[in-house]
Amino acid sequence: MEKQVCSKFIVLFYFAFMSNIVNAQETVIKIWGGTAPGSEKWTQKETSIEYLSPFWNEKNVAVFNVVEPTLTVFLPAPDKAAGIAVIVCPGGGFTALSWDTEGPNVARKLVEKGIAAFVLKYRIAYSGGTPEEVNMICQSTYGGKGRTPEVQELMQKNMEISQSISTDFEKRDIATLTMSKEVLRSIGNIIKMAANDGRRAIEYVRENADRWKINPNKIGIMGFSAGGMLSLEVAFNHTKQSKPDFIGIIYGSMGFAGVPDDPMPMFMASSQNEATGGAAALYASWCDAKLPAEIHSFVGSRHGFGYRDNGDSVNIWIELFYNFLEKTGMLNK
């Protein structure tokens, strides 16, 4: 009897111990300390919604109304740690965050490779003042529901509110976005605010590099769709402390051209049809400047593939990204 009790205790202790490790690896950190600059008067409530995706035939999670930017920390086991870190920026058109498939799913795969990953929850546009309004936007945007006149009216109202609540940021922003003016105008200065969160995320990880045993000269940023646009904005406009040492652009290069004044290695991946136009031109700019760059396009894939543990061949992009980091010396200790 005593042996049985002892065995049960050991089992319970083991699971509690492992649970603490997992929780410790997924710490959530506020990157600004206080209220993020420019959103001091924001009152909307952050909302996460699980929806059924008609495109992927699965349940996914989207986050709306982000007011307080955070980093969710995913750390590799000490014996696997390569001393390198990636800020992971989910997409969502700057109106939502495609959270699981372009955030934690990606971070966990990077951790398996010994790479510390920090999923950035950055500020996005206003999506409604009630849970019902937010859900209406979610279902029409991601859940395959039709855009009824009621939804269209709500979207117009949300756009106007987004423009209004971000006007103050213009006075303190010094960066120059090279994205389409129409894209910027549609939701005011939200994209600039999101980019500011991206810069601050790199600064924060660099300031605390010793804490996580990370080389401060091996901190990069990776983004999906809108998150890729954010990553490029950070690559083109940064301080010494917020400069990414490498960038990963996953189906997101709208409006950018040329190379930064102090460029870094660039990895790109997308569906085949998204690898042309602006993405191809951006890649060519890196090549013309004799800079390390890779671009991969995948037949039969579609926008938003992120990372799903579904056996799809497109998921090899994680391996390709790891190889890229190895070839560019980022994995050398």
Rounded CA separation 316/288 (Å): 27
Whether residue 12 has pLDDT greater than 60: no
The pLDDT tens digits of the residues spanning 224-248 come to: 999 999 999 999 999 999 999 999 9
The pLDDT of residue 133: 97
Rg (CA), the chain: 20
Measured CA to CA, the distance from residue 19 to residue 25 in angstroms comes to 10
Q: Residues near 243 by Cβ (< 8 Å), separated by ≥ 6?
A: 202, 262, 264
Evaluate whether 155 touches 127 at the Cβ level (below 8 Å).
Answer: no
Q: Say if residue 23's pLDDT is above 50.
A: no
Indicate the pLDDT class of residue 8, thresholds 50, 70 and 90: very low
Q: Residue 93: count other Cβ atoms within 10 Å of its Cβ.
A: 16
pTM to 2 decimals? 0.90
Quick one: pLDDT at residue 255? Answer: 73
Instruction: Evaluate whether the domain defined by 25-40+68-125+178-327 bears CATH number 3.40.50.150.
Output: no
* More confidently predicted of 183 and 72: 72
Helix (H, G, I), strand (E, B) or coil at 99: helix
The ranges assigned to domains in the chain are 25-40+68-125+178-327
Q: How many residues does the chain have?
A: 333
pLDDT in tens, 242-295: 999 999 999 977 778 889 999 999 999 999 989 988 899 999 999 999 999 999
Beta bridge partners of 119: 72, 88
